[in-house]
Amino acid sequence: MSVAKFIIFLKKDEPSETEQLVMDKLHQAEILYFVDKVHSKDYQWFKTNFKQTDCRFFWDEVLKATEYSFLTDDYFPTMVVYFDDTAPIETRDWVYIVQYVRHVVLGTDIDPYALRLGKSYVMGVPKTLPTDKPIVTTTTAPDDPDRQHYSVRSIEIKERDAKFYELWKPHVDTPYTVMVQPYSQKGDARFFSSLFACSSWGVARLDAEFLRHVWRDMGLPGTMDLDALIKEHVEDCTPSEKSAGEAEPKVYRLTIEQLLIQLQDKLEGHMKLKRRLESVE
């Protein structure tokens, strides 16, 4: 089953009372969400990126839910809940999803059946993953139905000292996702060189050009020098007398959410094995 994605839109640099309430309640319910400070009043961005996306917009302090057709150029939502276009979400499903979201945030009554169904569409990320602070999107659209453009987004998960980058290129069915860890030591620059561990990245003429735009958008210093970045990364991964070398980078053909679930499943598998081994000692 596909999992709902949440974006909360801040109208100003600091959240309003309503925006903070929504973030706090989602966090308490262990629902992973993103925060967008860039597009909260960008009517064209909403029209472009949600035109063909199955979604519901939530408005103001009562969290009234509406469909895409309700958008206007002077009235912007507090939050959007959406699914990938391939997700088989029916109108009746949205009834339960909306009820569940309003129950989580506003404490409205909900019957057990609606609670179970609504939660099943929302709680796809293991409960140990949400962070103690909002996760902030850094760049562009959450979806590009026709896959005609490059786009990238990233989230930092402080508990893992990790940052995840999900990059889409035109006319592909799956993204390129990289995890940089420990992020506090390696920073954003390591994302750029890690991509080239995948043989299908860098073959298109505009791949490197798009990365130059991302470099500037991230506020990284100077001009991006891919050759130097890759050379440094290779050296760091090469064993020497002083070091065993870093683990080689890996590019996952998964979304960030899918990768987080995969990593959590792997961690839980290791923990079960560890407990089993300890029990027989």
pLDDT in tens, 201-255: 988 878 888 898 899 888 898 889 999 999 999 998 888 777 778 888 899 998 8
Q: According to the model, what pLDDT value does residue 134 have?
A: 40
Determine the pLDDT at residue 17.
Answer: 87
Same domain, yes or no: 116 and 179: no
Cα–Cα dist 38/89, whole Å: 28
- Tell me if 135 is assigned to some domain: no
The answer as to whether 128 is a domain residue is no
Residue 137 counted as domain residue = no
pTM: 0.49
Q: Which of 65, 89, 122 finishes a domain? A: 122
Q: Is position 216 within any domain?
A: yes
Residue 49 contacts residue 144 (beta carbons within 8 Å): yes
For residue 140, being part of any structural domain is answered with: no
Q: Is residue 274 a part of any domain in this protein?
A: no
DSSP 8-state secondary structure symbol assigned to residue 238: S
259 found inside a domain:
yes
Pairing of strands 34-36, 5-9: parallel
Phi, psi angles (nearest 5°) of residue 6: -120, 135
Q: For residues 99 and 191, state if they share a domain.
A: no
Do residues 168 and 259 both lie within one domain? yes
Q: Of 122, 138, 166, which residue sits at a domain end? A: 122
Structure tokens at 163: 């940052």
If asked whether residues 158 and 248 sit together in one domain, one would say yes
Same domain flag for 186 and 87: no
Cα 177 from Cα 134, distance rounded (Å): 20
Same domain membership, residue 160 and residue 116: no
Render 89-156 in DSSP notation, one character per residue. Answer: --HHHHHHHHHHHHHHHH-----HHHHHHHHHHH--S-TT---SS-EE--SS-S--TT--S-EEEEEE
Residue ranges for the chain with pLDDT beneath 50: 125-142, 270
pLDDT tens figures, 242-274: 777 888 889 999 888 888 877 776 655 545 555
pLDDT at position 146 is: 54
Same domain, 19 and 112: yes
Please compute, for residue 143, the number of CA atoms within 13 A of its CA located in the half-sphere on the CB side.
23
Strands 55-59 and 151-157, by their bridges, are: unpaired
Domain count, the chain: 2
Task: Specify whether 62 is located in the same domain as 114.
Answer: yes
- What six digits make up the tokens of 112? 């057990």
Per the structure, the complete domain to which residue 177 belongs is given by 147-269
Q: Is residue 88 part of a domain?
A: yes
Residue 114 sits in the same domain as residue 156 = no
Same domain flag for 108 and 13: yes
pLDDT of 150 = 84
Regarding whether 207 and 103 lie in a shared domain, the answer is no
Q: Tell me, yes or no, whether 23 and 70 share the same domain.
A: yes
Cα dihedral across residues 97, 101, 103, 109: positive or negative: negative
Sequence-distant (6+) residues with CB within 8 A of 176 are 166, 167, 168, 169, 195, 198, 201, 251, 252, 253
Whole-angstrom CA distances from 258 to 71, 141, 203, 263, 267 are 30, 18, 25, 9, 14
